[in-house]
């Protein structure tokens, strides 16, 4: 009985820890078609407009975008879709 109880506490603890990190994910996208220094702003804006995205850093030099998002609200496919619609096809790099 005592053992069962501590197991329940342990499981509860793990679930709580999961909930804290729930959804927060970061993906790096390789972005095509960025030909000048203002392209990253357009890419960044298209990513920031996706519901669930909390941060988007776009590098013109690296031709990449690092996006932090809530995986309960969106996913990598929606992110690449957003940049593609803005004229910059992308795909996850990691």
- Chain residues binding Cu ion by CB under 5 A are 36, 38-39
Q: Smallest distance, Å, CB 41 to Cu ion?
A: 8
What Å distances lie between residue 7 and 19, 35, 65, CA to CA? 19, 56, 42
Q: Smallest distance, Å, CB 52 to Cu ion?
A: 26
Distance (Å, rounded) from C-alpha 80 to C-alpha 63? 14
Q: Smallest distance, Å, CB 39 to Cu ion?
A: 3
Nearest residue (CB) to Cu ion, 56 versus 69: 56
């Amino acid at each position: 009985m005592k053992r069962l109880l501590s197991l329940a506490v342990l499981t509860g603890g793990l679930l709580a820890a999961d909930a804290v990190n729930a959804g927060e994910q970061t993906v790096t996208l390789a972005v095509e078609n960025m030909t000048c220094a203002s392209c990253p702003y357009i890419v960044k804006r298209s990513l920031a407009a996706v519901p669930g995205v909390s941060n988007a850093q776009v590098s013109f030099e690296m031709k990449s975008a690092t996006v932090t998002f809530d995986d309960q609200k969106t996913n990598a496919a929606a992110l690449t879709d957003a940049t593609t619609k803005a004229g910059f096809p992308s795909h996850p790099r990691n």
